[in-house]
Amino acid sequence: MSSDNFVDYVKIHCTSGKGGGGSTHFRREKYIPKGGPDGGDGGRGGHVIIRGNKQLWTLLHLKFKKHIKAGHGAHGSGNLKTGGQGQDEYIEVPLGTIARDMETGEVLFEITEEGEERIIQQGGRGGMGNTNFKSSTNRSPHHAQPGEDGREGWKILELKVLADVGLVGFPNAGKSTLLSVVSSAKPEIGNYPFTTIRPNLGMVNYRDYRSFIMADIPGIIEGAHLGKGLGLRFLRHIERNSLLLFMIPADSDDIKKEYNILLNELKQYNPELLHKDRLLAITKCDMLDEELTAAIKKDLPKIPYTFISSLAQMGLTELKDMIWKKLNDE
C-alpha cells in the first residue's frame, strides 16, 4: 500500500435530514362533507450511517468529501398517508474505524465487522398529523406537529490498522526493511528518523501456502504516549495487532533498557496492551560474531527472541517460525 494513499484520520461534517411535517387534512368526499381529521404523519429525516467494509484499508475516499448530508422526510398527507422517509446517507469505512464526537472527544462506537451499521447522526422525527390530536372535546383539531429538525456536527473517524503482527521499535530499528524483505510491501526506507509516517501492511508467506499480515507502524520515541513525535498515531494502530514484535538493533547501547522504554510507552497509553503476546527480534546481526552474540544473550528481556539481519537474509525463517507458533498457540 502506498503511504501517500493511506489516510487513517479524517474530520467529516454530518447533517441528518429534517423530519416531514404532519398533515392537518380533513376527510372531504361527495357524501361526507364534514369528515373527521385524516392528516397523516410526516416521514422521518434520513440518518447518516457508518457501514463496515472489509474491502477498504484506508479512509482516503473521505479525505476530500467533508460534508455528508442525508435527505429530508416528506410531509404527511390526507387519508392518513405517512410521508416518505428521507434518504439515508451511508459512509463505507474499513474495519477497525472508530467514530468520535469532535467537540467532546467521546468515542461513539467502533466498526469491527463486515456490513456492521451504526448511526452517527440521527434523522429528525416526522411530525404527527392532526388525526393524532382528535379527542372527545376536540373533534376537529386544526393543528399538526412540524417535523423535527435534523442534527449536524463535526465527527472524527480514526482507523486502527488490523494486522496479525505489529512491529514495535524506535525509528531506524529496521522495521521497514524487514517488511520489504519478508513481504511484497514496498515501504519507504531511509537512514533517518520517521521514514515511515503511515502504517504499511504486508502479507508474509509462510510454509504450505499459509500467511499472516504484518504491519510496519511509525517508530515510537520516549514520550510517545504524551503525543511526542508520531506517538499517539503510532499507539492507536498497535491496539488492534494480535502479536507485538519488538525490534531492537544489535548496536543499541542497552537492549534491555530500550525494550523497557518501549514497553512503558505502551503501558502509559493503554495498560491492556501489556496483555498481548510479545516477541523480540535483535536486528542488524550481520555485524555480530559468536562472542558478541553470546554476550548480548546474557542480558536480554525474558521473552522469546531471535537474531536477524534483513539485509543479509539471516534468521528470517526462524523468525517466521517463531511468529507462526505464537499466533497459533492455543
SS3 category, 65: coil
> Can you give the C-alpha Rg of the chain in angstroms?
29
**pLDDT tens figures, 126-173:** 999 999 999 988 988 999 999 999 999 999 998 876 678 888 888 777
What pLDDT is attached to residue 187?
46
Strand partners, 212: 204
Domain 1-159, architecture per CATH: Distorted Sandwich (2.70)
Alpha-helical runs (H) found in the chain: 175-182, 231-238, 255-269, 290-297, 316-327
pLDDT value, residue 160: 77
The pLDDT value recorded for residue 74 is 96
Q: How far apart (Å, rounded) are the C-alpha atoms in residues 179 and 194?
A: 15
Give the dihedral of Cα atoms 259, 262, 266, 271; nearest 10 deg.
30
Per-residue model confidence (pLDDT) at position 189: 45
| CATH number for the domain whose boundaries are 163-327 | 3.40.50.300
C-alpha to C-alpha distance for 184 and 1, rounded to whole angstroms: 10
pLDDT at 199: 67
The three cell numbers of residue 58 are 484506508
Q: pLDDT tens, 223-259?
A: 544 444 444 455 666 666 778 899 999 888 889 998 9
For position 32, what pLDDT does the model report?
79
What stretches in the chain show pLDDT beneath 50?
1-3, 187-197, 221-222, 224-232
In the chain, where the domains are located: 1-159, 163-327
